[in-house]
């Protein structure tokens, strides 16, 4: 699977945000998407996902690709959790073949057992981010788009999470958007 962006342009409120972006993401690629605040990193992810349309240019799915749009595991900037559901329920709901037992096993790699069954609205910001990250990785996908997945985590935890992401990704393409680049030196950089 390859995603090819060709001369992609996007303006927002009359301001050119993305100007003739050319980029190719394939399986096994691992990118760190960089750029200053407001440079369009999140918008570029939204274009890849088909949540926004470019003003011009194209986003193409190349190769023997079985879906009409990108099949991605996504960590958005916002947590997008079902607030009254537990961590286990939030993770299990994204994959019909996934049992709550398997969801619990994955969550226990990062969260204490007593935090798994309470509503996620009672979790702290880092715990919530861990639930979001595990949920994105547990679904069958061809690509991982991770917008600030390590936000709020200390270095040891962030390192453990990056190792987990790489292990779970296998041969999927990965795109990280992350302000603190520590621990992501293995990624190829794509700057806006």
pLDDT band at 171, cuts 50/70/90? confident
Three-class secondary structure assignment of the chain: CEEEEEEEEEEECCEEEEEEEEEEEECCCEEEEECCCCCCHHHHHHHHHCCCCCCEEEEEEECCCCCCCCCEEEECCCCCCCCCCEHHHHHHCCCCCCCHHHHHHHHCCCCCHHHCCCEHHHCCHHHHHHHHHHHHHHCCCCEEEEECCCCCCCHHHHHHHHHHHHHHHCCCEEEEECCCCCCCCCCEEEEC
CA pair distance 179, 47, nearest whole angstrom: 20
Residue 97 has a pLDDT of 80
Q: Domain ranges in the chain? A: 28-40+71-191
- Give me the mean pLDDT over the 145-149 stretch: 96
Judge whether residue 39 has pLDDT over 90. yes
Average pLDDT along the chain: 93
Q: pTM value?
A: 0.92
Percent over 70 (pLDDT), the chain: 97
CA pair distance 111, 107, nearest whole angstrom: 6
Query: What topology does CATH give the domain 28-40+71-191?
Result: Rossmann fold (3.40.50)
Condensed to tens digits (0 to 9), the pLDDT of residues 51-108 reads 999 999 999 988 766 667 788 999 999 999 999 999 999 999 998 788 899 999 999 9
């Amino acid at each position: 699977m390859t995603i090819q962006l060709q001369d992609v342009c996007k303006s927002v409120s009359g301001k050119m945000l993305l100007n003739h972006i050319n980029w190719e993401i394939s399986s096994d690629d691992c990118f760190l998407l960089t750029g200053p605040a407001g440079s369009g990193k999140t918008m570029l992810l939204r274009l890849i996902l088909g949540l926004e349309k470019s003003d011009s240019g194209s986003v193409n799915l190349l190769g023997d690709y079985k879906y009409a749009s990108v099949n991605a595991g996504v960590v958005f900037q916002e947590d997008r959790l079902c607030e009254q559901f537990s961590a286990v329920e939030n993770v299990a709901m994204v994959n019909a073949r996934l049992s709550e037992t398997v969801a619990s096993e994955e969550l226990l790699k990062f969260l204490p057992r007593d935090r798994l069954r309470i509503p996620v609205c009672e979790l702290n910001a880092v715990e919530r981010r861990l639930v979001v990250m595990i949920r994105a990785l547990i679904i069958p996908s061809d690509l991982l788009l991770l917008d600030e997945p390590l936000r709020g985590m200390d270095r040891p935890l962030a390192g453990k999470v990056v190792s987990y992401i790489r292990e779970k990704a296998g041969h999927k393409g990965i795109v990280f958007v992350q302000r603190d680049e520590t621990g992501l030196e293995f990624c190829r950089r794509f700057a806006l």
